[in-house]
Chain A
Amino acid sequence: MSIDHQKNIIEVKNVSFSYDNVEVLKKITLDIHRGDYISLIGPNGGGKTTLLKLMLGLIQPQAGQIKLFGKPLHDFRDWSKLGYVPQKAINFDPLFPVTVREVVAMGCYGKEGILNWLKEKDQKNIDTALARVEMTPFADRLIGNLSSGQQQRVFIARALAGEPEVIFLDEPTVGVDIKNQEEFYSLLTHLNKDLNITLILVSHDVDVVSHHVTELACLNQTLVYHGDPKQFMKGHYLDDLYGKNVCFVDHKH
């Protein structure tokens, strides 16, 4: 896959962030280019989700600057270029009375803007998004009645319905079984390769994501590593991150 390194989608420059007085991120500098499929990995508390939230403007850094599509975050208005798949287990109420189609439609709201109803084009985008994740037959089912793997696909479809250029995913496979995880990752690869959508994926599962992504950014307060996942697995970075003698459980792909 060819990555257009000319075009920076996200520029993180010298960003630091602390919760109260605990420094979570120290002087992070990281560029993400159009077409990248990058995973932010690292130990718990290493700051990967924090960095994702900083990039999305959900929290503000104490120091440094973040640019999205060349614009500083506070001037950025093109939110429809971004898709977001939140950490499902925390954010999602299985009893919420919405159908799959209603959830996917939410992905179009930001683009249409306040006071505008969804148009025919949006309905087509919703249909396409549902088809892409193979959830068309479930469109009228309540979201709470699906398996967690299916729910995860619906959240991907919601992100796709807004026709984003980049999708942010926060630990999307938590609670999804291995077989569905594999299907999930091949769907992501398809989105990245065939639709040229830039993907930024937060994961704690270094071993699994390194098989799929094209780049790894490894965070433990500082940016420990950024580059090819194969080089990362060969190097001594894992020792630095998790301590020596760490053994990864193979998921038998």
Chain B
Amino acid sequence: MLEIFQYGFIVRGLEAGILIGLIAPLIGIFLVLRRYSLIADTLAHVSLAGVAVGLLLKINPLWTALGASALSSIAIERLRTSKKIYGETALSIFLSGSLALAVVIIGLAHGFSVDLFSYLFGSIVTVKQHDVYIILGLSILVALVVFLFYKELVYIAFDEEAATVSGLPVKIFNTLFILLAAVTIAISIPIIGILLISALLVLPTITALQLKQNFKMTLFWAEIISVFSIITGIISSFYLNISSGGTIVLIMLIIFGLVLFIKRTTHQVTVK
């Protein structure tokens, strides 16, 4: 069993995976409670366009994904608050628009040296040592900001209007939060893949919500589910030689199903 740790890419994958597993629920819980799940999916697709640009220009795709996702997160938030177009319409414009851009760039470049498939579905092979440091730095940043502004983020998620009346700068917090979400999504790409990121953000939280606990305990259980799924997912994807992202998401789904099943046999079921 321990021979697995002789492979550098497995160790790097686990390091990056655990970091992402820890910060994903910190962002995911607010995304779910604010009904922002679709924003996560949109930002992931925008990141694909960023990855394509990075591969074309031979820059680390992590940086270009980060830039694309951060910029468009601010644009999405502005469109959402301006109310000039419907919120979901803004999202679908970004979602399909960035996918179109990504496809065109990939076509222009005629075959990248890196397999695009691994960006779509996640493959720990793509994680370089340098990436682990970037992921570490940004994970600390995300965790720190959520820790410092925890009470404000909870208040705004629960009751945005009352938070505004209490004098909190709600607009600034909303922009800050969406930026954090953009960062989290961009750095999750190598492990979980663009098409599966929203599952990573959403599933641990909706599973934890079934347990009907207070906010901190819900977050705690989401963390446990997230990190457990990532570790077991990466290790089993190694032995079975399959995509890490797909394996992680399936493990999360199995846990969700189990929790629902146990609840159904004991209590009443609540699906968010």
Contacts and interface: CB of A to CB of B under 8 A. Distances in A.
A142 B214 contact: yes
B111 interface: no
Contacts of A86: 159, 161-162
Contact of B168 (A109, A118, A145, A162): A109
B148 interface: yes
A98 B164 contact: no
Given A96-B158, A97-B213, A109 B270 contact: no
Contacts of B158: 93, 96, 98, 103, 106
B213 A110 contact: no
A115 interface: yes
A111 B215 CA distance: 22
B138 interface: no
B214 A93 contact: no
B133 interface: no
A226 B167 CA distance: 29
A214 B37 CA distance: 47
B165 A84 contact: yes
B72 to A, nearest CB: 27
Contacts of A77: 167
B58 interface: no
Contact of A91 (B159, B166, B167): B159
Nearest to B217: A97
Interface in A126-163: 140, 142, 145, 158, 162
B168 A110 contact: yes
A79 interface: yes
B167 A96 contact: no
B272 interface: yes
B159 A106 contact: yes
Contacts of A241: none
A189 interface: no
Given A80-B166, A84-B162, A84-B165, A95 B272 contact: yes
| Most A-side CB within 10 Å, residue of B154, B212, B217 | B154
Contacts of B155: 106, 109
Contacts of A168: 165
B151 interface: yes
A86 B213 CA distance: 24
Interface string B173-213: 00000000000000000000000000000000000010011
B244 to A, nearest CB: 30
A36 to B, nearest CB: 19
Contacts of B166: 79-80, 82, 84, 106-107, 109-111, 162
Given A97-B215, A97-B218, A142-B214, A79 B167 contact: yes
A97 B159 contact: no
Given A96-B157, A98-B158, A98-B214, 18 more contacts: A58-B165, A77-B167, A84-B161, A84-B166, A86-B159, A91-B159, A93-B33, A96-B33, A97-B212, A97-B215, A98-B154, A106-B162, A109-B168, A110-B163, A114-B152, A114-B168, A118-B151, A168-B165
Interface of B: 33, 148-149, 151-152, 154-155, 157-159, 161-168, 209, 212-215, 217-218, 270, 272
Interface of A: 56-58, 77, 79-80, 82, 84, 86, 91-93, 95-99, 102-103, 105-107, 109-111, 114-115, 117-118, 140, 142, 145, 158, 162, 168
The list of the 6 closest CB pairs from A to B, nearest first, reads: A110-B166, A79-B167, A84-B165, A97-B218, A99-B214, A110-B167
17 contacts: A56-B165, A57-B165, A84-B166, A91-B159, A97-B209, A97-B217, A98-B158, A103-B158, A106-B166, A109-B151, A109-B152, A110-B165, A110-B166, A114-B149, A114-B152, A115-B149, A168-B165
